[in-house]
Amino acid sequence: MNKHLSFIICAMLGLLAAGCAEATKTDSEMENPVIETIMARRSVRHYTDQAVPRELLQKIAECGVNAPNAMNKQEWEVRIIDNPEYFNGVTELMKEQMPIFVSNDDPKFRNGFRNATAAIAVACPDDPSGMCLINVGLMCENICLAAKSLGLGSVVMGGPAMMLNTMDGAQPYLEKLHFSEGYKLRIIVGLGYPDEAPDAKPRDLNKIQFVD
């Protein structure tokens, strides 16, 4: 009788353990890593000096070109920059011509690319419909989310792109990007290992409304 009782108790404990495991699995399945990544992404402006491996940069760029785009024309070109000399050279031009964009008071200052150790530059043609610029925006979002998922920080920058397009002496740096004729640099996304953890900025959820 005792043996039978012991068997029943063990069986009940086994079922209880299995039930707990199933509950844990269900809880885990309820988590959504994509939504968590979206909600956790921040614009990072301070990075460590650790270089980002090129295989990670390649993967992030591949995530970028998998963004939705009008009629799948893929009218964009992507260049990965991870050469410190490139960043330093452009930063020196910024200091000379547009010092407002370069902070010498910041003890963590590294360069005019928001201190990033790598960057992805994106170009597209002029397009009266505006769809090419929308496509570039979608690509940048993919890049930022992919970077976050891989433990990297990111920041979308219009300033350095504008400066490379307009500053005296910047043409050699622009030419190094080897964009095709008719393509113009539109945006640069800075990347690196974050050296800060910014709080989320408030979002106005009243901007969201259902249409009845």
Q: What domains does the chain contain, in order, with CATH numbers?
A: 43-192 (3.40.109.10)
- The predicted-structure confidence for 34-86, as pLDDT tens digits, reads as follows 999 999 999 999 999 999 999 999 999 999 999 999 999 999 999 999 999 99
- The predicted-structure confidence for 96-124, as pLDDT tens digits, reads as follows 998 888 877 888 899 999 999 999 999 99
Q: Is the dihedral of CA 173, 178, 184, 190 positive or negative?
A: negative
Structure tokens at 111: 């360069």
Query: CA dist 41 to 66, 122, 197, Å?
Result: 19, 20, 10
